[in-house]
């Protein structure tokens, strides 16, 4: 006989960066594991130091880090942690990115522009990631940027079930804020058995973040409209779309989005909007100044935890959404 046989079992280890520790703790709780103790700090010049306090040799490692502000710092920290796990002889490394940074830069609109979403995927692969697990990418094609498995999770079941349980479905209309989100809005319509409307918008090409809303396609008069989007950043687009719906006779408007980026003037825009409720998931931490009565944050942790368990046990992540149909 040659060689050595082992009888060891698979071991799951969950690691977290410093960007959104509350979400990491909740995912750990749902999995019934503890986060691996990690020493992490910044040097005086801004360099990041990371060291894990437990051995990761031979373990299936899951590293969670959401790309919140300051986004470049947390992406760099995640890359450093990936490198540390690779050099610690981890058996496999799955990087969990609830919000994938640079996802809006997924193609070239003009000459001499980067495709930054592809760059982020390349960096993760080079740093040591074997697999990416993420939630509601800005566009599905980003899955193809990573040379390895990508598990693309959806917040639609969580958001749609919340909205469906609190409004009169006979008065409900699902609204896409632009033509690019129609496919997602269609899935909402199927789940809630509601009609679809579309807000037609046009951006001023010479003024960044400036949107002119022209018309609403579909009947919204006297209806409770649910505007669905993947992310809300400065809030300009979604608030303008809501104003257009009210101008066309909507009785009420609820806004839902997976990722509440909420940067710049978003706080004032959401506070001053006639929208009755903004519903997000906690893929990103909500800024303290936006703790308003009209903002509801739903937990994405159960979805992430179930997906992690399926990956670890060689199950099917797709089945999580097929059964919720």
Active site residues: 201
Residues ≥6 apart with Cβ < 8 Å to 126: none
Q: Is 303 annotated as a binding residue?
A: no
Is 17 within 8 Å of 64 (Cβ atoms)?
Answer: yes
How many angstroms separate the Cα of 221 from the Cα of each of 125, 148, 244, 249, 250?
49, 47, 11, 4, 5
Q: Is 6 annotated as a binding residue?
A: no
Q: Helices marked H in 32-181 — which ranges?
A: 71-87, 116-127, 156-166
Encoded tokens for 53: 């306090």
- Residue 217 phi/psi, 5° resolution? -100, 115
Q: How far apart are CA 71 and CA 68, in angstroms?
A: 5
DSSP 215-262: EEES--TT-EEEEEEEEESSSHHHHHHHHHHHHTT-SEEEEEEEEE--
Encoded tokens for 7: 């009888």
Q: How far apart are CA 205 and CA 185, in angstroms?
A: 26
Q: How far apart are CA 200 and CA 229, in angstroms?
A: 14
Encoded tokens for 278: 């903004």
3-class DSSP state for residue 146?
Answer: coil
Q: Is 170 annotated as a binding residue?
A: no
Q: Is 151 annotated as a binding residue?
A: no
Q: Is 234 annotated as a binding residue?
A: yes
Q: Is 47 annotated as a binding residue?
A: yes
Q: Is 105 annotated as a binding residue?
A: yes
Q: Is 237 annotated as a binding residue?
A: yes
Q: Is 272 annotated as a binding residue?
A: no
Q: Is 268 annotated as a binding residue?
A: no
Q: Is 46 annotated as a binding residue?
A: yes
Q: Is 325 annotated as a binding residue?
A: no
Is 117 within 8 Å of 100 (Cβ atoms)?
Answer: yes
Closest among 283, 310, 222 to 65, alpha carbons compared: 283
Q: Is 104 annotated as a binding residue?
A: yes
Q: Is 251 annotated as a binding residue?
A: no
* Binding-site annotation: residue ranges for D-ribose 5-phosphate: 203, 229, 233-237
* Binding-site annotation: residue ranges for ATP: 45-47, 104-105
* Binding-site annotation: residue ranges: 45-47, 104-105, 138, 178, 203, 229, 233-237
* Binding-site annotation: residue ranges for Mg(2+): 138, 178
């Amino acid at each position: 006989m040659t060689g050595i046989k082992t009888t060891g079992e698979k071991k799951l280890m969950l690691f977290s960066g410093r960007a959104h520790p509350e979400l990491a703790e909740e995912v750990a709780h749902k999995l019934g594991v503890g986060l691996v103790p990690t020493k992490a700090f910044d040097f005086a010049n801004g360099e990041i130091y990371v060291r894990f306090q437990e051995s990761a040799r031979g373990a299936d490692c899951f590293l969670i880090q959401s790309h919140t502000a300051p986004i470049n710092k947390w992406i760099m920290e995640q890359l450093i942690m990936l490198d540390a796990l690779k050099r610690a002889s981890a058996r496999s490394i799955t990087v969990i990115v609830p919000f994938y940074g640079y996802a809006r830069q997924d193609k070239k609109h003009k000459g001499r522009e980067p495709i930054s979403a592809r760059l982020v995927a390349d960096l993760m692969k080079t740093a040591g990631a074997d697999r990416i697990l993420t939630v509601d990418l800005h566009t599905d094609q980003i899955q193809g940027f990573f040379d390895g498995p990508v598990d693309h999770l959806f917040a639609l079941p969580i958001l749609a079930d919340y909205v469906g349980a609190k409004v009169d479905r006979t008065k409900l209309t699902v609204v896409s804020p632009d033509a690019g989100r129609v496919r997602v809005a269609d899935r909402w319509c199927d789940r809630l058995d509601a009609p679809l409307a579309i807000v037609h918008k046009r951006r001023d090409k010479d003024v960044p973040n400036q949107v002119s809303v022209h018309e609403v396609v579909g009947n919204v008069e006297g209806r409770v409209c649910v505007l669905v989007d993947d992310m809300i950043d400065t809030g300009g687009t979604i608030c303008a779309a809501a104003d257009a719906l009210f101008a066309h006779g909507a009785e009420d408007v609820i806004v839902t989005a997976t990722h509440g980026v909420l940067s710049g003037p978003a706080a004032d825009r959401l506070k001053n909007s006639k929208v009755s409720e903004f519903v997000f998931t906690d893929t990103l931490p909500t800024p303290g100044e936006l703790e308003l009565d009209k903002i509801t944050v739903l937990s994405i942790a159960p979805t992430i935890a179930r997906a992690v368990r399926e990956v670890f046990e060689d199950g099917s992540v797709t089945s999580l959404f097929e059964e919720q149909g």
